[in-house]
């Protein structure tokens, strides 16, 4: 049987205040994210049982559930890792250079990323597109609609209302601004380097 688990936050629940409240972080991680882990495990178990029984009734729905819940688990895990109390600076090194090459400047990238965040019904992502060998901003609705085949997430911003409404009300843009106060580019930089090493 499947046994995906929710990792603990990489910092205390109040560590991102005042940008993300302890209450929101606790709800979001402990309850909301846990739901995706549980959903993924349940869907995988359904598929395993169906294979053993030779009965595919319900398999299509379980496959969709795997896609939705696994994407939710993976993206939320990246979201927690992309932030830290020491965040707030701009990217440096190879990732900074690649952003400037692919978008013209860091400021141009950030403006486009913020546009993605304002429009998404789910996530704004910076991904490394292994097919085109370039960075791209991506609008992903829910967790899996609008994703790019061969796109490897580098930076993930959750803009579902549960991420910000308690703290910011309908002012999503204020939450996006706050995200940049806690972004820690060390982990995204490592993720970018791994993708480039594998695919270029």
Residue 146's pLDDT is 82
Specify whether the CB–CB gap between 123 and 71 falls below 8 A. Answer: no
The answer to whether residues 132 and 189 belong to one domain is yes
Does the annotation flag 29 for ligand binding? no
Report the predicted TM-score, pTM, of the whole model to 2 decimal places.
0.93
Q: Say how many C-beta atoms besides its own lie within 10 A of residue 140's C-beta.
A: 24
Domain of residue 52, residue span? 22-81
Give the tens place of pLDDT for each residue, 146-162: 888 889 999 999 999 99
**Helix or strand (DSSP H, E) at 156:** strand 151-158
- Asked which of 81, 101, 126 is the last residue of a domain, the reply is 81
Q: What is the pLDDT along the chain (200 residues), one digit of tens a residue?
A: 668 999 999 999 999 999 999 999 999 999 999 999 999 999 999 999 999 999 998 999 999 999 999 999 999 999 999 999 999 999 999 999 999 999 999 999 999 999 999 999 999 999 999 999 999 999 999 888 888 888 999 999 999 999 999 999 999 999 999 999 999 999 999 999 999 999 87
The answer to whether residues 115 and 136 belong to one domain is yes
The two structure tokens encoding residue 108: 């141009």
The answer to whether residues 45 and 126 belong to one domain is no
The answer to whether residues 107 and 157 belong to one domain is yes
Residue 39's pLDDT is 97
The answer to whether residues 105 and 42 belong to one domain is no
Does the annotation flag 32 for ligand binding? no
Does the annotation flag 162 for ligand binding? yes
Q: Provide the CATH number for the domain around residue 70.
A: 1.10.287.990
Q: For residue 54, count CB atoms less than 10 angstroms from its CB and return exposed for 0-12, middle for 13-18, buried for 19 or more.
A: exposed
The answer to whether residues 100 and 192 belong to one domain is yes
Specify whether the CB–CB gap between 154 and 134 falls below 8 A. Answer: no
The answer to whether residues 26 and 97 belong to one domain is no
Q: Provide the CATH number for the domain around residue 138.
A: 3.55.40.20
The answer to whether residues 114 and 172 belong to one domain is yes
Domains contained in the chain, number? 2
Residue 148's pLDDT is 85
Q: For residue 88, count CB atoms less than 10 angstroms from its CB and return exposed for 0-12, middle for 13-18, buried for 19 or more.
A: middle
- Asked which of 54, 81, 108 is the last residue of a domain, the reply is 81
Q: Looking at the domain assignment, is residue 32 inside a domain?
A: yes
What is the residue-wise DSSP string for 6-44?
A: PPPPSS-TTTTTTTS-HHHHHIIIIIIIHHHHHHHHHHH
The answer to whether residues 68 and 157 belong to one domain is no
The answer to whether residues 99 and 194 belong to one domain is yes
């Amino acid at each position: 049987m499947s046994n995906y688990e929710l990792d603990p936050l990489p910092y205390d629940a109040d560590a991102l205040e005042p940008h993300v409240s302890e209450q929101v972080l606790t709800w979001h991680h402990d309850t909301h994210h846990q739901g995706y882990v549980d959903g993924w495990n349940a869907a995988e178990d359904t598929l395993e049982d169906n294979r053993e029984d030779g009965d595919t009734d319900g398999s299509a729905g379980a496959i969709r559930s795997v896609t939705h819940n696994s994407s939710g688990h993976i993206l939320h895990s990246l979201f927690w890792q992309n932030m830290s109390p020491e965040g707030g600076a701009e990217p440096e090194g190879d990732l900074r250079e690649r952003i400037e090459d692919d978008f013209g400047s860091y400021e141009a990238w950030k403006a486009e990323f913020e546009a993605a965040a304002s429009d998404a019904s789910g996530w704004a992502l910076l991904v490394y597109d292994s097919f085109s060998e370039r960075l791209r901003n991506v609008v992903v609705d829910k967790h899996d609609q609008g994703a790019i085949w061969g796109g490897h997430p580098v930076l993930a911003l959750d803009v579902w209302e549960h991420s910000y409404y308690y703290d910011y009300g309908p002012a999503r843009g204020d939450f996006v601004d706050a995200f940049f106060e806690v972004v820690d580019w060390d982990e995204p930089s490592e993720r970018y380097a791994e993708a480039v090493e594998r695919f270029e």
